[in-house]
Amino acid sequence: MDYSRPELADRLAAEYVLGTLRGPARRRFDTLLPAHPTLRAAVLDWQRRVDALSVSVPEVTPSPQVWPRIRARVMGATVQPVVRWWQRLVLWQAAAGMAAVAALSLAIVLQMPTPQPPPIVVVLAAQPDAAQGGIQPVSFVAGVAPDGRSLVVKPLDAQQARFVNRALELWAVPPKGAPRSLGLIAAEGSTTVQRALALKDTAAFAVSVEPPGGSPTGAPTGPIISVGALQL
């Protein structure tokens, strides 16, 4: 069959999405999908159309044992926390002047009819101490929307940022108390973190190296590779 024919692709995609395409025909369709853009587009269109039917299906709460089974499947062994590194935050703040730790407010001087509040840019300097653990320190730059609701983080030197079987986790560090996780970020390319009030009660941002899946404890467990103080 010529699956690139639009009418045939459309009819098969409709039956696939509705669920009436079964058996060997369904399996064949599944294997063809990755290589056939026409089929994929048709499937997406039908999913969008047919999905409206799902709104009336009553919800059924899964048994409590389902989530632990899923968690065990996707996150292998957990790692115990070792260091409470954020207790040394005061030292970082003192060292902020000597390192390339800088917080800059960039005013947008474009002539806009309505002046926008400027985004806040924070440079998270690579921490040379991390190199002792055989980990390549990396600098990041973070742009925070003025309302603190979203944040874009990007490594400054992407080609050296390779972390095999490790995740990078971004933390908002308050002046006192434990850091809050802002989620995992990519070692290469930029990551947008949608998190309400990333700036609220935040003195610095830091990036730690964590096991895959992120810190198992909710507090940073691995070495801090990058830190930047926030000066509003």
Partner 1 sequence: MTGSDPSARQQHLAALLSRVALGDTAAFEALYRSTSAHLLGLILRIQPDRALAEDVLQEVYVNIWRAAQSFNPALSQASTWLNSVARNRAIDSLRRRQADVATVSHVTHGDDDEETDMLSAMPSNDPGPLDLLEQASSAMALQGCMDNLSRDQRQSIALAYYQGLSHNEVADQLRQPLGTVKSWVRRGLQSLKNCLERASLALS
Which residues does 151 contact at the CB level (< 8 Å), separation at least 6? 142, 143, 144, 145, 170, 182, 192, 193, 195, 198
Q: End-to-end CA distance of the chain, in Å?
A: 64
Please report how close the Cβ of residue 54 comes to partner 1 at its closest, in angstroms. Answer: 5
3-state secondary structure of 25: helix
Query: Cα(37)–Cα(3) distance, rounded to whole angstroms?
Result: 10
The partner residues of 140 in beta bridges, in order of sequence, read 124, 155
Closer to partner 1 by Cβ: residue 54 or 132: 54
Using CB under 8 A as the binding rule, whether residue 183 contacts partner 1 is answered as: yes
Q: Mask of contacts with partner 1, 1-40, x by CB under 8 A?
A: ----------x--xx-xxxx-xx--x--------------
- In sequence order, the 6+-apart residues with CB closer than 8 A to the CB of 166 are 209, 210, 211, 212, 222
- Min dist CB 178 to partner 1, Å, is 15
* Residue 75 is a binding residue for partner 1 (CB under 8 A): yes
> Taking CB under 8 A as the criterion, which residues in 187-206 touch partner 1?
191-192, 194
Nearer to partner 1, 76 or 175 (CB): 76
Q: Closer to partner 1 at the Cβ: 51 or 129? A: 51
Q: Is 177 left (phi over 0), alpha (psi -120 to 50) or beta?
A: left
Q: How far is the CB of 16 from partner 1 (least distance, A)?
A: 9
* DSSP 8-state code for residue 110: S
139-168 residues near partner 1, rule: CB under 8 A: 167
Q: Contact residues for partner 1 (CB under 8 A)?
A: 11, 14-15, 17-20, 22-23, 26, 44, 46-63, 66-67, 69-71, 73-75, 167, 181, 183-186, 191-192, 194, 212-214, 218
